Amino acid sequence: MIVVGGGIGGLGAAYSLTRQGLGVRLLERAPAFGEVGAGIQLAPNCTRILDDYGLLDEAKSLGVVPDAMVMRDAVDGAELTRLDLRDLERRYGYPYLVIHRSDLHGLLLRACERAGVELITDARVDAYENTGGGARVALASGATHEAGLVIAADGLHSAARKLLADDEPVSSAYVAYRGTVPAESPRVSRVDLGEVAVYVGPGCHFVHYGLRGGKLLNQVAVFESPKALAGREDWGTPDELDAAFARTCDFVRDGLPFMWRDKWWRMFDRDPITTWVDDRIALLGDCAHPPLQYIAQGAIMAVEDGWVLGEHVARNRAA
């Protein structure tokens, strides 16, 4: 079996299938495994899977289990409502966890290495093809790989999706900036690292929470881009970030200098399609169902996809 894509979804699927006794080769386009970004929120539907994989304790040691999610007015900073996140664990049996994306990625990568997944880097897949009894992928280098089944976890701009749909990513006109603040910064002393805080305002929101046992404060600033709405190509630039949050409270504005100004994430999704499977090739994660960021479930759904595939293998064998 081949898995294309060495992100969180691809690694999760490779581990899930390998633990069912299948031989898995994973192809990653980059020269080395790694993950960009900062924090990620893991709701109980993900931490239950990490627990099933035997990885939850390690994940908790790398992240933070927050006490509450607090929604505040971005303009005046006033608290609007509060959700007890510890109650989620009491209700569902598994915690709500926040963790650095690279820490979750590294955890899954190490699990794949221990399980015996064949990990190949610098392997950019440009084409997919069904072969009757299996499937073949062609690399940019000219090499090919064949297996009985190919799982494409190649993200929003998937090459495999073209087998199933003639569509393109859909712009939301929203963009996200991210950044982390070290615990030694005076800014961190002003926050409760046991909270996931969400400041909501007109056309923008600002999120922060602790990472790595409170050693970092993760920040995310999201806003609607006037340049995108006007059809311009140069949208989401730092000048738009500053303008979008100009009317927010001091605490939010004071966090903007900590954002990475040399990179930003334009928010896209895709229209739903009727199937994610083309004979021996299947889509997983963002190449199948890319969401916007508002429910913090994109990577989680990719992890769920991989877990479900493994469960189907186990059930079919037991039938």
Point out the residues that are catalytic.
209
* Tokens encoding 112: 């794949």
Give DSSP secondary structure letters for 260-298. Answer: -SS--EEEEE----S-SEETTEEE-GGGT----GGGS-H
Contacts of 16 (CB under 8 A, 6+ apart): 53, 306, 307, 309, 310
In this structure, what are the phi and psi dihedrals at residue 199, rounded to the nearest 5 degrees? Answer: -100, 120
Closest CA to 153 of 55, 268, 16: 16
Q: Collapse the DSSP code of 26 into the 3-class scheme (helix H, G, I; strand E, B; otherwise coil) and give the result.
A: strand
Cα 117 from chain centroid?
Answer: 21
Rounded to whole angstroms, how far apart are CA atoms 145 and 195?
A: 46
Contacts of 158 (CB under 8 A, 6+ apart): 152, 283, 286, 287
For helices 101-115 and 8-18, the axis angle rounded to 10 degrees is 30
Q: What letter does residue 106 receive in the DSSP assignment?
A: H
Q: Judge whether 42 and 99 are in contact, CB under 8 Å.
A: yes
Q: Judge whether 164 and 273 are in contact, CB under 8 Å.
A: yes
Q: Collapse the DSSP code of 163 into the 3-class scheme (helix H, G, I; strand E, B; otherwise coil) and give the result.
A: helix
Rounded to whole angstroms, how far apart are CA atoms 298 and 290?
A: 7
**Strands (DSSP E) found in 160-249:** 170-182, 195-201, 204-211, 216-224
